[in-house]
Each structure stands twice: as C-alpha cells, then as structure tokens.
Amino acid sequence: MPAKPELFDQIDPAPRLLMGPGPINAYPRVLRAMSAQLLGQFDPQFRQYMSETSALYRQVFQTDNEWTMLIDGTARAAIEAAMASLVEPGDRVLIASFGRFGQLKTEIAQRCAADVRVIEAPWGQVFTAAAIEAGIKTHRPKLLALCQGDTSTTMLQPLEEIGAICRRHGVLLQVDATASFAGTPLPVDRWQIDVVTAGLQKCLGGPSGAAPITFSAQVGGHIRRRRHIEQGLQPSGYQPGSGVRINSNYFDLAMVMDYWSDAALNHHTEATTMLYGARECARIVLQEGLEACFARHARAGAAMVAGVEAMGLTVYGDKQHKMPNVVGVHIPPGVNGDRVRGALLRHFNIEIGSSFGPLQGKIWRIGTMGYNAREDCVLATLAGFEAVLAAESYPARRGAAVDAAMAVFGG
C-alpha cells in the first residue's frame, strides 16, 4: 500500500511555549550548535569536544571528579547506568522517596537485583536530615539514592547535610538532579555527594537525549572492580575485574569510562549532535555565571508564585521546600483542570503540566526554567492562564496576576 502524500510533509511544529515541568524550549544557541557538521567518534577534533564537555560540566557540577561525562539517553539513562554499574545483586540500597521519581529509583534498584529498602515522606513534604540518618541506621545500606528536586510533587530536598551523614556511616550517596541541576545550588564536592545525574531538558535549556553524570574516584573504584571488556574488544593478556559483570552492556559505566578516557576504547557510537548540544548548554550556564543562573531561576519562580496567588489560587505542598523552578497549583473546586490546560494550549500555544499518582487531576505544575526562566515567559503564561480560568467562571481580578509578577521582577 503506497504511503499517503501528507506523511511526507516537512516537520513544522506549532510555536509552543513549554511552561510545564519539562521539557522546556531549548536555547536557540543550543539548537544552532546541534546543526553543526557530524564528526566520527574517534576524530581528534571530536575527542577534543568530549574532553571540553567533561571540563565544562565539572564546573557546573562544582567538582574535581575525573569521571564527569555524558550518558547517551534521557536523564533516566544516567540514573540507571549509575545504579546498574555500582549495585551488585544483593547489595542493600535505601531509597528516600518523596514522589514519583523516588518510586522510579526503587524500581530501577529492584531491576538491579538489589536488596531494596524504602523510606517515604508524604507527597508535598521532604525529609529532615535526622529522618534520613535514622533510615540509614535502621537499614545499613551500601547506597542511598534520592532526588534533589522531584517535579511530581515540586519539592526540593535539602542536601547540605546528607553527604556528611553518609560518610559517617560508610554509605554512598546517589542524587538524581534531573529537574534541579543548574537551577539551584548543587556543589557536589562541598556537599560530599558520590554520584550525581542530570538531564538537559530542564534548567540547562536543551533537548532531552543526553544525561550529564559525575561520580567520585571511590565510586569509580567500585565500578572498576566489575570491569569486563566485551569479547570483540579484549586486548592481549586481558584480565577481567574481580566483581560481578555489570548486567547491562549499554549502561556499563566501566566500559563508558574506558570510552571517555584517553584509552578511547570503543563502546557505542557517540550521539554527536547531542554532545554538541550538551556542550553548549554548559557554556551558556557558565557564561551567565552559576550564581546569576540560580538567581534568575529563583526570581522567575517567585514571580510565578506571586502571580498564581494573586489570582486566589493555592500553591501545593510545603512552600518552604518547593523547587524554585516548578510550582504546583491546586485546581480549584468546580474547575476542569484538563480543559484549562487544553484551552491554554489551543488559544495561547502555552503548555503547563498535570501530575501523577495521588495528585492526578488535583494540581497543575508550571515550570520556569532554562531558556524560559524569563520575565516575558512568566507574564505571558499568567495572562493566558487568567484568561482561560475566566472562561471557567473562576473569579479572579483581571490583571492581578501580571501586576504581582511584574512587582517581583521590579517592573
């Protein structure tokens, strides 16, 4: 059967303003970088770009870790690569879960055949340092894994004390910073975090598809114990590591380490355009300055909160511990949340998010991150949001949201 002619039309997406919990609109500079000519993965110029990308992300992660690189795949790929490569079958893993993405890490650890233990904070809240230390004392894990920011609940877990607690108890700490990286402070070395994973499609302002990762020399040593080079690449006299072979080829960080090292041992074909994009994301953040980038996200987030509250809407969860770059908003009684989202998309080309699990249909999630953590994006979203809520007969003083947000921006 011949293909229909319209299947071959050029891709021409609508000009959406993505103000949900991610992905968001990419920086134009990133898209331009991604249009550059392809290179072979062992071309000296491309190897130099790989080295530069590592150096750039060390600065964004605020770390001296040699092992700072990209995993080809979305943010979840880095989470899984870290856990699959570090956790051997039967190792005890403690998950501190306060939302949907704590549940994700639980499932990944289970798939790694870990002895998984879970402590939970109610959705809309975070853990105290004392609660995490109590969980470590009770379960005595090899690894503690948790989010910094969980977009499902919009909560930001304080981490300043957690690394030191883990060190005292001989526990490794893995942090998923997918939704918070480059939008709020995360000094990896100062906070003594062993593994951090991230994604491009949130505060870094890029497309999904490459996942920055950094891990300590201690973690690198654990992974090296499991080093097994695949058969077609084994050099003469090769001796495998003493540990259990990592139960994934693609997510085998021991082989990825060899690939990114000066040895340049073949593993996969690097996602060239994604590396270009990831490199440019880091350049943008560092040229702006980390502190300035954090302040911009905080200001845009505060303006969005001021705007939704000026409409009489209620912010979800513990405001003291909310993420600066995502806000949850209670859907008022009598308002159809999906219809509001649909109208905002249809009339204004603006996307906001719903939520998962127990919050499905109960809150909207609005993001202010990366390229979209800007005054014009916040004001346009609030103006459109106000208009579609009025069509739902929701009583709000017209213009109040924009006025409140402009006051935060100093307008």
Note the pLDDT tens digit of each residue in 316-364: 999 999 999 999 999 999 999 999 999 999 999 999 999 988 999 999 9
pLDDT in tens, 39-91: 999 999 999 999 999 999 999 999 999 999 999 999 999 999 999 999 999 99
pLDDT in tens, 204-219: 999 999 999 999 999 9
**Domains along the sequence of the chain with CATH:** 28-285 (3.40.640.10), 290-409 (3.90.1150.10)
Degrees to nearest 5, angle at CA 57 with 55 and 61? 125
**What is the Rg, in whole angstroms, of the alpha carbon atoms belonging to the chain?**
22
Residue 205 CB neighbours (<10 A): 28
Res 8: pLDDT = 83
* Contact status, residue 148 vs residue 178, Cβ threshold 8 Å: no
* Contact status, residue 26 vs residue 371, Cβ threshold 8 Å: yes
What is the overall mean pLDDT for the chain? Answer: 96
Quick one: pLDDT band at residue 232, thresholds 50, 70, 90?
confident
The DSSP code for 5 is G
Name the pTM for this structure.
0.95
Please report, for residues 100, 121, 157, 202, 310, the alpha-carbon distance to residue 96 in angstroms, rounded to integers and kept in the order given.
11, 8, 10, 22, 34
Quick one: pLDDT band at residue 4, thresholds 50, 70, 90?
confident
Res 135: pLDDT = 98
- The Cα 283–Cα 272 span in angstroms is 17
- The Cα 10–Cα 205 span in angstroms is 25
Percent of the chain with pLDDT over 70: 100
The DSSP bridge partners found for residue 119 are 96
List the single range of 9-13, 78-82, 156-160, 388-392 with lowest mean pLDDT: 9-13
Between 396 and 190, name the one with better pLDDT. 190
Res 5: pLDDT = 77
Alpha-carbon dihedral sign for residues 46, 51, 52, 56 = positive
Of the candidates 305, 292, 284, the one whose C-alpha atom is nearest the C-alpha of residue 378 is 305
Res 7: pLDDT = 79
Cα-flanking dihedrals φ and ψ of residue 10, to 5°? Answer: -65, 145
Mean pLDDT of 173-181: 98
Quick one: pLDDT band at residue 300, thresholds 50, 70, 90?
very high
Of the candidates 23, 27, 17, the one whose C-alpha atom is nearest the C-alpha of residue 349 is 17
List the single range of 127-141, 256-270, 280-294 with lowest mean pLDDT: 256-270
Res 202: pLDDT = 98
Res 396: pLDDT = 85
Q: Which amino acid is at 380?
A: A
- The Cα 166–Cα 233 span in angstroms is 37
Mean pLDDT of 242-258: 95
